[in-house]
Structure 1
Amino acid sequence: MSAPEPILIWGAGAIGGTLGAYWARAGIPVLLVDIVPDHVEACRTTGLAITGPIEEFRQVVPAVTPAELTGTYQRIVLAVKAGATDASLSALAPHLAEDGFVLSAQNGLNELAIAERVGAARTMGCFVNFGADWHGPGEILYGNRGAVVVGELDGALTPRALEMHRLMRIFEPDAVLTDNIWGYLWGKLAYGAMLFATALTEDSMSANFSDPRRLPVWLALGREVGAVAAARGVASLGFGEFDPMVFAPGRPEYPQIAAIAWLADYTSKTAKTHSGIWRDLAVRKRKTEVDPQIGVIAALGREAGVATPALETLVALIHEIEDGRRPLSFDTLKVLIDRCN
């Protein structure tokens, strides 16, 4: 009897590596694909170390570089940075079985790009909000549990969606199977836009969210994302006690302020004090996912006739930091604060 076909996880960083380690530990056949040779070698030899307050373990996980990969696979979990989606799709497409699918365990609206490339029927949506960081070859910090949601793009409760939900529950027992994956993805975009803004400074996420001087930024970003989502007919869904629908057009301000207060508290209770975006800018000195994650909202807003001045200013400021033209500082964030007042 042949061994079960492994789940192919394309991108073994914070999200993909954490999922892969948990699945492999549970006896689920997994094959990681990553472009960092030292990380690949560590995963398949000495093992992938998951550290942090949730639990700590080391798990050997089969891993290859894209050049070493052969064969086709029914289930491919795409877990790369949003900016690497197009290049990754070009590399993985030959390895996707005709009746297989790609599940986007990423941040942003990558399902749009995946569906355009391989077809909507071969695309599955996924919302992840747990905190993790890739710290180096074979090392991932799992900072806090968070929402994990899977669903078909058209909302159908298919056998393959049920199976991926079962697998996700191995990692996160409270994982959700939804008929409104777009609602979750757009809901996270409101939070995601705010996280990008916290990365304009050296301060922690919680310090940013708890500072009254910065409140106009969080409110403006939430409202702009809410307006674009509404224009696209999306009913946004939240996580924990964060309800992005409070930022929908015409909603009162007090619940919006309460949502930011909840974020200040929520982000104060994780071992991951700063966002992965901040880590890209301050530590890894590399470009962020700002264009495919936040720039795309502004572009969709223009299509729908919705103005997004705060989002567009945020994208411009992130680019200026990436290019070395601005530092991470309160003065940089002050440009956005002034735009939102």
Structure 2
Amino acid sequence: MRMIVIGTGPIGGIIGGRLARAGYDMTFVDVDKEHVEAIRANGLRVDVPDSPFNISINIVLPNEIQGKFDIGFIAVRSNYTLDALVTVLPHLNENALLVSMQNGINPPLLQQQVGADRTVGMAIRMGCRRIAPGHLHTATRGHLYIGHLHGKTTPQLQTLHKLLEAAMETEISDNILGVLWSKLTYTCLGFFGSLADVSLATSCAGAANRRLLVDFLAEVVSVGTAAGARFIPLAEYNPPDLHPCNPIEKRLAIVNEMAKSWKDDDRKGPLRQIQNGIKTEAEFTLAYVVHQGEKTNIPTPLCRKLLTMIHELEGGTRQLGMKNYDELYRS
């Protein structure tokens, strides 16, 4: 069975690297020539808590792909999903699976191209990052959820589950859309924590911003609920508990409990991307919530304002700073 990974960043590289180490026939693709050249020269270096490894892999640029594949993994940021599909679709066998390993709700886009039984959504709980070209790092073993949007377990899904188990703990879900929505609430939390170059422990130290975060998460959960998402509990919180139908005291208590784990030196992924001049996934995560709110008639003033502020930070017309939370509060 031949597998291809489009995007050899932290997610595609770490999970795909584990599969390669387990002996599977893997081809990796990336557009970053420096990253590709580093891996070709020195192998893919992966720091994982159980057993760090360095492995020689077959990595190519998009125009160098050869042959057909039985499984395609899309591991690019959501901004580049359509580009990744253009790259991979000509190289898939007739009944090949197409797997989204991304943030956001991307499986419907894949399903439009290959159909329901060939589309698999994947939700990943694994903090990870790229240290340098050819060098990836995670401090957690990680956990995968996989499933078709229709919720059925097909033979192909069972085969995928078996091979992924060689890489990390994997669970088949009949509710992958609900799992992805649950993770989306946490992704949106990352954008909330990216308005200033401080940790959430600092930005939400005061009562006003702590309440602001509660109200923000209430918007996200309200939209997901109206869109039909069946949320699952996360390690940090159970999303339905943050729905505004619950008393504000209960919701504040949940955020206060979560805050105990916040660290002063923690910085969210979108913040690092903004600081490095990299476009975030806001248009495919936070904006998705806003658009779904419009469809379901759920007001999202905080999500909408935060989205505008993230765009301004990306465009250089707004500066990072605590004053941004004051402005968000006034919205």
Shorter-normalised TM-score: what interval? over 0.9
1:160 equivalenced with 2:159 (yes/no): no
Alignment CA distance shift 1:221-1:210 (3 Å): same
Q: Please say if residues 54 and 142 of structure 1, whose CA atoms lie closer than 8 Å, have aligned partners that are also in contact.
A: no
Partner of residue 75 from structure 2, selected from 70, 74, 79: 79
Which whole-Å deviations, capped at 9, do the CAs of 1:36-84 have from their partners, x for residues lacking one? 1221222233111123656532222211111100222121111100111
1:336 equivalenced with 2:328 (yes/no): yes
Which runs of 5 or more residues in structure 1 are unaligned? none
Which whole-Å CA distance do the structure 1 matches of 2:72 and 2:292 have between them?
Answer: 27
Q: Please say if residues 117 and 154 of structure 2, whose CA atoms lie closer than 8 Å, have aligned partners that are also in contact.
A: no
Runs of 4+, deviation exceeding 6 Å: none
Could you say what secondary structure the match of 2:285 adopts?
A: helix
Q: Who is 2:267 aligned against? A: 274
Could you say what secondary structure the match of 1:70 adopts?
A: coil
Q: Which of 318-327 and 134-143 deviates more?
A: 134-143
Alignment CA distance shift 1:318-1:236 (3 Å): same
Q: Who is 2:217 aligned against? A: 222
Alignment CA distance shift 1:66-1:262 (3 Å): farther
Which whole-Å CA distance do the structure 2 matches of 1:241 and 1:37 have between them?
Answer: 37
- TM-score, normalization by structure 1: 0.90
1:313 equivalenced with 2:305 (yes/no): yes
Equivalences for residues 118-133 of structure 1 within 5 A:
118-133=114-129
Which whole-Å CA distance do the structure 1 matches of 2:294 and 2:301 have between them?
Answer: 11
Q: Please say if residues 20 and 61 of structure 1, whose CA atoms lie closer than 8 Å, have aligned partners that are also in contact.
A: no
Q: Who is 2:33 aligned against? A: 37
Q: Please say if residues 320 and 326 of structure 1, whose CA atoms lie closer than 8 Å, have aligned partners that are also in contact.
A: yes
Equivalences for residues 182-193 of structure 1 within 5 A:
182-193=177-188
1:102 equivalenced with 2:120 (yes/no): no
Could you tell me which amino acid in structure 2 is paired with residue 101 of structure 1?
A: L
Q: Which of 227-236 and 245-254 deviates more?
A: 245-254
Query: What is the CA-CA distance between 1:205 and the residue it aligns to?
Result: 4.2
Which whole-Å CA distance do the structure 1 matches of 2:243 and 2:257 have between them?
Answer: 18
Partner of residue 3 from structure 2, selected from 4, 7, 10: 7
What's the RMSD between the two structures over aligned residues?
Answer: 2.1
Q: Which of 152-161 and 8-17 deviates more?
A: 152-161
Q: Who is 2:112 aligned against? A: 116
Which whole-Å deviations, capped at 9, do the CAs of 1:209-250 have from their partners, x for residues lacking one? 555342123212221121111212221113224211112351
Which whole-Å CA distance do the structure 2 matches of 1:142 and 1:71 have between them?
Answer: 31
Q: Who is 2:283 aligned against? A: 291
Identity level (%): 29
How many residues align? The count is 331
Partner of residue 301 from structure 1, selected from 293, 296, 308: 293
Could you tell me which amino acid in structure 1 is paired with residue 128 of structure 2?
A: A
Could you tell me which amino acid in structure 1 is paired with residue 113 of structure 2?
A: R
Could you tell me which amino acid in structure 2 is paired with residue 278 of structure 1?
A: L
Could you say what secondary structure the match of 1:170 adopts?
A: coil
Which whole-Å CA distance do the structure 2 matches of 1:169 and 1:34 have between them?
Answer: 24
Could you tell me which amino acid in structure 2 is paired with residue 24 of structure 1?
A: A
Which whole-Å CA distance do the structure 2 matches of 1:72 and 1:211 have between them?
Answer: 55
Alignment CA distance shift 1:66-1:310 (3 Å): same
Partner of residue 193 from structure 2, selected from 184, 195, 198: 198
Could you tell me which amino acid in structure 1 is paired with residue 207 of structure 2?
A: P
Q: Please say if residues 2 and 25 of structure 2, whose CA atoms lie closer than 8 Å, have aligned partners that are also in contact.
A: yes
Q: Please say if residues 49 and 138 of structure 2, whose CA atoms lie closer than 8 Å, have aligned partners that are also in contact.
A: yes
Q: Which of 130-139 and 117-126 deviates more?
A: 117-126
Which whole-Å CA distance do the structure 1 matches of 2:209 and 2:124 have between them?
Answer: 26
Could you say what secondary structure the match of 2:117 adopts?
A: helix
Query: What is the CA-CA distance between 1:14 and the residue it aligns to?
Result: 1.2
Query: What is the CA-CA distance between 1:262 and the residue it aligns to?
Result: 4.4
Q: Which of 212-221 and 297-306 deviates more?
A: 212-221
Q: Please say if residues 116 and 148 of structure 2, whose CA atoms lie closer than 8 Å, have aligned partners that are also in contact.
A: no
Which whole-Å CA distance do the structure 1 matches of 2:157 and 2:50 have between them?
Answer: 27
Could you say what secondary structure the match of 1:149 adopts?
A: strand
Could you say what secondary structure the match of 2:67 adopts?
A: coil
Alignment CA distance shift 1:172-1:207 (3 Å): farther
Q: Who is 1:19 aligned against? A: 15
Could you say what secondary structure the match of 2:123 adopts?
A: strand
Q: Which of 189-198 and 44-53 deviates more?
A: 44-53
Which whole-Å CA distance do the structure 2 matches of 1:21 and 1:291 have between them?
Answer: 29
Partner of residue 314 from structure 2, selected from 322, 326, 339: 322
